[in-house]
A and B are shown apart, each in its own frame.
Chain A
Amino acid sequence: MAAGLDAAEGLTGKPGRPLRAARLRLSGFFWRHRWAKGLLLLAPPLLAFALVYLASLVALFISAFWTVNPFTTAIEHIWNLDNFRTLIDSGAYRTIALRTIGIAAAVTLTDAVLAFPFAYFMARVASARGRAFLFVAVLLPLWSSYLVRVYIWRLILNQDGVLNWMLNKVGLPNQHLAYTNFAVWLIFSYVWLPFMILPVYGALERIPHSFIEASRDLGAGGFATFRRVVLPLALPGVVAGSIFTFSLTLGDYVTPLLAGGASSQFIGNVVYSSVGISNNVPFAAAFATVPLIVMALYLTIARKLGAFEAM
C-alpha cells in the first residue's frame, strides 16, 4: 500500500514530494514491522526507567554497604554490614521504623473509613452535577502546596490556634494537639485523603447496578448486599488507594518535621538528617531500604487482593 501511494505521489509532481515519500516509506516500514513500532514507543520511557529509576535504586542499595570515614565524612568503599547492624542493634531506629509503619497504617485505615462512604455517595447517590462538584471539592486542595496545607494545620492546632479559640468560645478547655504524633496522623490523613477517594470511587462506579438488583431480588437485605456484593467488588479499589496513602506516609519527612513533637521522627527524618547533618549517605541508604522492603511486601499482598486491576 505504501508503495502504491508512493507511485501516485510521483505523478502529482508537487514540490516537497521527496519528503512526503520518505515519510510514507517510514510509516510503511513500521506497518510491516510491528515490533519496531513497539520499540520506538517504549524506548524513551524504558531508557529513562532503567537509567534514572533502576540505576539510582541500585546505587542506593550498593552504597548502603559502605561506610563513611567518621572524621572526614568521606565515603570509604569497603564492603560491610555495619549500617544494617546499627539499624538492628539500636532500639531507637527500631522505634522509629515501627512508628513510621504504625502511623502509615493508621493513616491508611483512617482514610479508607473516611473515603468509602464519600466515594459511595459520589458514585451511586449524587446527581451528575453534584458528582462534578464533589470531584472539584476533592481535588481542590491538591492545587495548593503541600507545605501550605501542613502549615495551615499548624495554625489550627497551635496553643493559640483556631481550634483552641473555638473550644474556648463554647467553654471547653484548651487541647494540646500541636507538635504531637496525633497531629502528624491527623495531617497525613487529611493530605492523602484524595488519593484514597479516587480509586475507591473508580471501583464503586464500575459495579453494575444489575448486580445490586439481583442481590435484592434474591432476598438479600441492604446490609447483606453491601457486605457480600458491594464490598468485595470495591475492595481492590480500597487496596489500590491504600497503596498511595501507605507509601506516601511511609516516605514522608516534612509533616513529622513541621508538626511532630519530641518523639515524632520518621524514617525519612533520619535519612534527611543523615545526609544533611551527619553527611552519612551510606547509613541513610541502609535505612531507606526499610521502607523499600515494607512496600515490596505490601505490593505483593495488594496484588493478591487484585488492587492492580482497580487502578
Chain B
Amino acid sequence: MIRIRRAHVLVAALAVALCVPASGISSGSGLPTSIGKGEGQLNLVAWEGYTQPQWVKPFTKATGCKVNAKYAGSSDEMVTLMRQGGGSQYDMVSASGDASLRLIVGKDVQPINVNLIPDYKNFIPALKSPPHNTIKGVHYGLSLQWGPNTLLYNTKKVTPAPTSWSAIYDKKYKGKVTVPDNPIQIADAALYLSKTNTSLGITDPYELNKTQFDAAVALLKAQKPLIKKYWGLASDEIDLFKNGDAVIGASWPYQTNTLIAAKVPVKDLIPREGATGWADTWMLSSHAKHPNCAYMWMKWVSTPKVQAQQAIYFGETPANPKACTIMNKLSPGSAAQYHCGASAKYFSSIKFWKPPIADCGNGKKDCMDYTQWQQAWTQLKG
C-alpha cells in the first residue's frame, strides 16, 4: 500500500544489512547447540502446497509437533503475518527472497544453527549461504526449494503453443488472461522488456531506473484490459482455469500440477525470455514460541524423502540433490522435469525474487524501490 518516505528507510535499512557487518549478531552467541524436547505445536506461514498431509502427518507422528499452517498469497502478506501481534503468533515462514531480506532487516527472524540440520551439508553449493538468507556468514534460515514462475496455458484454447511472454500481453486473449496480484509482477514485465526492447537497457528486472520502471508499468497498464482477474491465491487461478474464465496466465508449477490432476488440459513452460523465480527459506521468528519443533521441522523438510515429495507436489527443485533419485522413484522422470541437481548455470538463469532497492550497485542510487513498486501496483489495479 501507499507509503510515503518508505524509500529512504528501506534503502538505509537494507544498506545497513548488506554492507555493514551484522553487529550484535556474533555467530555462536545464543544459537542452540542441540534440539530440545518438542513443544507439541508448530505454527507456520507457508505458500499453498507447502504443508501437505503427505509429509506433515508423519512429522507430527514422529515428533508430536502438531502443525498449524496459514497460507499466504504474496511475500507482502508473509511479512505482515510474521509481524502481526508482536510477531509471536507464527513460529516459521517459508519466505521467498524478496521477503526474507525484509524480515532479516526488520529483525523479525532470528539466526539459526545449520549444524543442527544434518542434511544441510548435502545442499547444492548455491543454496548453502545464498545472499537472500545468509548475511556475513550468519544463517537466518534454511533453504528449502526453488523454481521458476511459469507461463501456464490451456492447450485446447491457446494455439499455437506460446513460446514467449508476449502471449500474456497479446490482445488475442483479451479477457482470458490472469496474472498474480503482486507488485513483484512488475519484474515479469521488466524481464520481458529486457529482451524485447533492448534500447531500455534493462539488465536486472529488480533494478529499474525511472525510465525502465515506467516502461514496465506502461506495459502492465496496457495489459490490464486483457486481464480477467488478478489472482491472489494459487487456488483462485486454479478456479479460473478450471471454469474456462482464463486460458493463459503467469503461474507457479503448483497450479499446473493441480490442474493436470483435475484433468484440465493445461501445460506450462519457461518462455524464451527466461523467467523470474523464487528461492524459499524456512525462517524462524524472533519470537517463536516453539523453537524446538521448528528445528525438528527444518530437519524433517530437508531430508531427501520430504524434499522429493514436496518438489513433486509443488513442481519445484529441491535444495537437497539427494532427493533426485527418490523423485524418480516416486514419479519417473520428475527429477529431470524439475531440474533436480541442476547446473549452476541453470540456477543463475532464473531471476530470483529480491526486494527492489534504490541502490542498484554501480554507485548510482536512481533505482525505484519497493515502495514505488507497491504504489505503482495499487494505482494500476485501481
Question: A-side interface residues toward B, CB under 8 Å?
Answer: 67-73, 82, 86, 90-92, 95-96, 158-161, 176, 178-179, 257, 260-263, 265, 270, 273-274, 276-280, 283
Contacts and interface: CB of A to CB of B under 8 A. Distances in A.
Interface in B339-382: 371, 374, 378-379, 381-382
A72 B106 contact: yes
B228 A261 contact: yes
B195 interface: no
Given A277-B80, A278-B1, A92 B10 contact: no
B245 interface: yes
B80 A160 contact: no
Contact of A92 (B84, B228, B229, B382): B382
Interface residues of B, number: 38
A71 B83 contact: no
Contact of A277 (B10, B74, B107): B74
Contacts of B6: 70-71
A92 B378 contact: yes
Nearest to A178: B245
A276 B77 contact: yes
Q: What are the 3 closest A-B residue pairs judged by CB atoms, nearest first?
A: A70-B6, A159-B244, A278-B1
Interface centre among A91, A95, A273 (most CB of B within 10 A): A273
A262 B228 contact: yes
B10 A70 contact: yes
A245 B229 CA distance: 26
B224 interface: yes
Contact of A158 (B13, B76, B245): B245
A96 B378 CA distance: 11
Contact of B228 (A91, A161, A179): A179
Contacts of A178: 243, 245
B243 A159 contact: yes
A92 to B, nearest CB: 5
A86 B245 contact: no
B324 interface: no
B224 A280 contact: no
B5 A91 contact: no
Given A263-B224, A277-B74, A277-B80, A92 B379 contact: yes
Interface centre among B10, B80, B232 (most CB of A within 10 A): B80
Contacts of A71: 6, 9-10, 13, 102, 105-106
Contacts of B245: 158-159, 178-179
B83 A70 contact: no
Contacts of A68: 3
Interface string B1-44: 11111100110010000000000000000000000000000000
